[in-house]
Chains A and B, each alone.
Chain A
Amino acid sequence: MKRCILVVEDQEDNRRILRDLLTNSGYKLVEAQDGQQALTMAERKRPDLILMDVQIPVLDGYEVTRRLKADPVLRAIPIIVVTSYALSGDESKARAAGCNAYVSKPYSPRQLLATIREYVP
């Protein structure tokens, strides 16, 4: 059975790249374009991993992460946060929200895939 990854990303190009990369790598993909959708999809699809961009509409990635990690059932899902600013404090903010890993943009698809494989082989 294919592992399911929820990709939370508002940028179409980025979503497509991830879709192409992950599908090609043998994962099943569900997508969300904003924070609210991310929560809904996580609840509904129960993915094996969430790849969370922080700069998304409605609710930002940190907030979504916080809420998911507050949920007793969904908190087990590993979350990899993707930040686009290399601003200082981003990593600590992400960690504080409760993410499992942290990848800053721009990422190499190869590196990202390697990180994902650590959680869902």
Chain B
Amino acid sequence: MTQQAALAFFEGATAWVLATMRNLTAPASVPFSRVRNRLFVKYVALFVALVSVALLVNGASEIWFFYREHRASLIRIQREQAEVAATKISQFVNGIEAQLGWTVQLPWDARTFEQRRIDAWRLLRQVSAISELEQINPSGLEQLRVSRTDPDVFGSGIDRSREPKFRHAVSHKRYYGPVYFRQNSEPYMTLSLSGGNDSGVSVAEVNLTFIWEVISQIKVGAGGQAYVVDALNRLIAHPDISLVLQNTDLSGLAQVQRARAAISEGVSQPDQAARNLQGREVLTSYAEIASLGWLVFVDLPTDEAYAPLRATIARTALLLLAALGLALLGGMFLVRKMVVPIQALRAGAARIGSGDLSQRISIKTGDELESLADQFNEMAGKLKDSYANLEAKVEARTHQLEQSTHELEQSVLELRALREVSQAVNSTLNLENVLTTIVAKAVQLSSTVAGSIYVFDARREKFEQRATYGMDSATIAAFTDHFDTGNRYVNSALARQGPIQIPDFRDEPASLTRDLILDSGYRAVLVAPLLWQDTLSGLLVVRRKEPGAFPKTTVDLLKTFAAQSVQAIQNARLFGELHEKSRQVEIESRHKSQFLANMSHELRTPLNAILGYTELVLDRIYGDIPDRMRGVMERVEINGRHLLRLINDVLDLTKIEAGQLTLEMTEYSLKNVVEGVLDTVEPLAAEKRIMLKGEISPNLPLARGDERRIAQVLLNLVGNAIKFTDSGEVLVRASKMDRSLVIAVRDTGSGISEADQGKIFDEFQQADNSSIRTRGGTGLGLSIAKRIIEMHGGGIWVESTLGQGSTFSFTLPIPEEKTPQP
């Protein structure tokens, strides 16, 4: 497992714990039934989560530090191995170099070929890694070649001066050639040394198999490897020889590049994670063989390197799991100890809440929960007490309510009965009907079976049974006359001025009444007197077949019905009297009208004769008459005519009042009426030298009414105007205003005072009573006019100022949709 994986595991675990805690602390808007286990689950989860977090943090940090240390130690070991290998290789090369150095110690000329050959062989014998030695003189010509496999060559004279092994050795004293392979099986390297300008150059072909041995001796775990790259980054030693023989270039490997970079920058060991040639992830360390420019690498596959780590993680996880289990168990135990009483409390409270107030919560934890339970119990007890109290109150209230409902119903019944009774009293004048209604309601509402209403007949001094209820005809007959003014019960009721009750007639002293009551099967009787201004006008009696006192409500009710009966009887009497009176008035009125009509006729007949004769005398039918006599005769005629007018007016008024005046309704021209009246009074006006004018609006509509009566009214008004005007003019104006015709008669006469204006339309009223005599006229004209106009649906009025004349006006409604007068 890598570092990343460990981190991922750690992060995942943390996220799970956080998520779980978030879920557990989520708002508890859950149904009641699910709440049952939530508290338990919540606390257990919280407990476990806390333990888990602690263990996880602990385990993770331990793993982390272990990982760091383990890695560092592995790296250190690998580095040491690499450095050991590098040292060995370095010493091997230095050894060879030291041996070889002897051959160039002396100037070239100081030694002979033979000597040189012996030295060469000696060297080959001493240093097995050197397989061939070549000596080049200072001029660069090959002089000697000694080989283990080939014959020795002397003085070949081959010019090597241009080859690197000569030139480089001359300039740098030593030269390490690249590694190469002979017969594709062993690595070789050319090593040349120069002793000075004149000592020539010794070139040795060095067998590097020793390096392989060094490398293959390095054991890093099971899959670890050591290898060496040369200065050109080519693989020169590796446990897998075939790779070396393939002349593998390792320039592409990351660790090689990083190592080179670090060396060139003089930095210490760079990051140790990399991939090896096979592509496996490895931990790698290196050591430099500075003289050669070679690098020794030691790789250890990561999975192998971290195997102990994985075991540690597994152990920690196992521990964690075990701890979790323990935490779960412990948490459950602890939470259970805490939650069980809470649940008991909740269940008890729920039962109390659902109305089981006798429920008591039993918790013996000895802590706040127990005191809470005690408080619940106390509350339930108090609730129970108050409920019991409440129930008693509700029961009492219900009882009261039932009672008042009953009373209310009774009152409603009584009110309804009273309403019916008063309706009957007020709507019908048939006394029998009203009394029957009353007695029926009285019996029904007093829980009795029979009842009667008696009305006192003052003429016969007897109580007359006028209405009954619940009695057959025989009983009705038996009870018809049984009360008289001497009856003790009647007297008793009268004395009390209120109802009396006989709860049981069997207890009463013997009397006719007792016999009658008991014979008819009744036992208890309630008698209410009908009192009108403290005198007895009748009796309301109800009877019951069961003995017993009548409740006060019934007595009061009967009193009310008695009052209603009195009202009905009085109404009937009053109405009877009223009816009789109006009938008499009507007859009288009719008689009076007839009388007046007859009277006027009878008065007129002789008056006609008087006037007729007078006129004949004045017309000299009977011959000439002396002037003095003519004067007298004229006075006779004038007074006769006045009397006749009086009689006519009285007759008119009488007829109007008697309702005998009927209008002859026709459509007529108001213009004609006005003109006719003006013609009639023209002589009168001319006689008094009064200007008489008529103003009639054009296109007046036709009027509808009794033309003769309207003419009579207008004649009266104009006649009066002329009569009361001594100079000036009289104007008659007829016009249309809205839906009415208006006729106004204006004079310039003496005028009428405001006080008189109000009464001149009354009978026998003139502005100045003396004028009746001086001016002629009956004093009835205006009141007749007023009535005629009112019969036509119009109005009549006067406007006047004393000394400035008067204007009398009247209106006549215009009939609907009449064409204008042509």
State the A residues within 8 Å of B (CB).
11, 13-14, 17, 20-21, 24, 84-89, 92, 105-110
Contacts and interface: CB of A to CB of B under 8 A. Distances in A.
Contacts of A105: 604, 608
A84 B604 contact: yes
Given A20-B622, A110-B615, A13 B606 contact: yes
A13 B609 contact: yes
Interface stretch (B129-137, B660-668, B753-761, B802-810): B660-668
A81 to B, nearest CB: 16
Contacts of B607: 106
A88 B608 contact: no
Contacts of A88: 661-664, 706, 708-709
A23 to B, nearest CB: 9
Give 10 nearest A-B pairs by CB, closest first: A13-B609, A17-B612, A106-B608, A24-B621, A109-B615, A20-B621, A88-B662, A105-B608, A106-B644, A20-B616
B615 A108 contact: yes
Given A24-B621, A88-B706, A89-B662, A11 B605 contact: yes
Contacts of A89: 662, 664
Interface string B605-638: 1111101110110010110000000000000000
Contacts of B592: none
B572 interface: no
Contact of A86 (B608, B612, B615, B648): B648
A87 B651 CA distance: 9
Nearest to B661: A88
A52 to B, nearest CB: 16
Contact of B609 (A17, A24, A86): A17
Nearest to A113: B619
A84 B605 contact: yes
Contacts of B662: 88-89
B601 interface: yes
A99 B608 CA distance: 22
B360 interface: no
Interface of B: 597, 601, 604-609, 611-613, 615-616, 619, 621-622, 644, 648, 651-652, 655, 660-664, 706, 708-709
27 contacts: A13-B612, A13-B613, A14-B612, A17-B609, A17-B612, A20-B616, A21-B616, A84-B605, A85-B597, A86-B651, A87-B655, A88-B663, A88-B664, A88-B708, A89-B662, A89-B664, A92-B664, A106-B607, A106-B608, A106-B611, A106-B644, A108-B611, A108-B615, A109-B615, A109-B616, A109-B619, A110-B615
B133 to A, nearest CB: 188
Nearest to B606: A13
Given A14-B608, A88-B706, A106-B608, 12 more contacts: A13-B609, A17-B613, A17-B616, A20-B621, A21-B616, A86-B648, A86-B651, A88-B708, A92-B664, A106-B611, A108-B615, A110-B615
Nearest to B620: A24
A92 B612 CA distance: 26
Contacts of B601: 84-85
B622 to A, nearest CB: 7
A2 B607 CA distance: 31
B659 to A, nearest CB: 12
A36 B317 CA distance: 159
Contacts of A106: 604, 607-608, 611-612, 644
Nearest to A104: B648
A105 B708 CA distance: 16
A24 to B, nearest CB: 5
Contacts of B660: 87
A18 B656 CA distance: 33
Contacts of B613: 13, 17
Contacts of B605: 11, 14, 84
A31 B535 CA distance: 74
A115 to B, nearest CB: 15
Nearest to B600: A85
Nearest to A88: B662
* Among A20, A24, A87, A106, residue most surrounded by chain B Cβ atoms (within 10 Å): A106
Nearest to A82: B608
A24 B622 CA distance: 9
A109 B612 contact: yes
Contacts of B709: 88
A14 to B, nearest CB: 6
Contacts of A24: 616, 621
Contacts of B606: 13
B658 to A, nearest CB: 12
A116 to B, nearest CB: 14
Nearest to B706: A88
A107 B604 CA distance: 11
A20 B642 CA distance: 25
A87 B612 CA distance: 21
Contacts of A87: 655, 660
A84 B613 CA distance: 17
Contacts of A92: 664
A106 B662 CA distance: 21
Contacts of B609: 11, 13-14, 17
Contacts of A20: 616, 621-622
Contacts of B619: 109-110
A87 B216 CA distance: 172
Nearest to B663: A88
A21 B709 CA distance: 31
* Among B605, B651, B709, residue most surrounded by chain A Cβ atoms (within 10 Å): B605
Contacts of A21: 612, 616, 621
* Among B607, B611, B708, residue most surrounded by chain A Cβ atoms (within 10 Å): B611
Nearest to B611: A106
A109 B651 CA distance: 23
Contacts of B611: 106, 108
Nearest to A25: B621
Nearest to B652: A86
Contacts of A17: 609, 612-613, 616
A120 to B, nearest CB: 19
A107 B615 CA distance: 11
* Among B607, B613, B616, B662, residue most surrounded by chain A Cβ atoms (within 10 Å): B616
Contacts of A14: 605, 608-609, 612
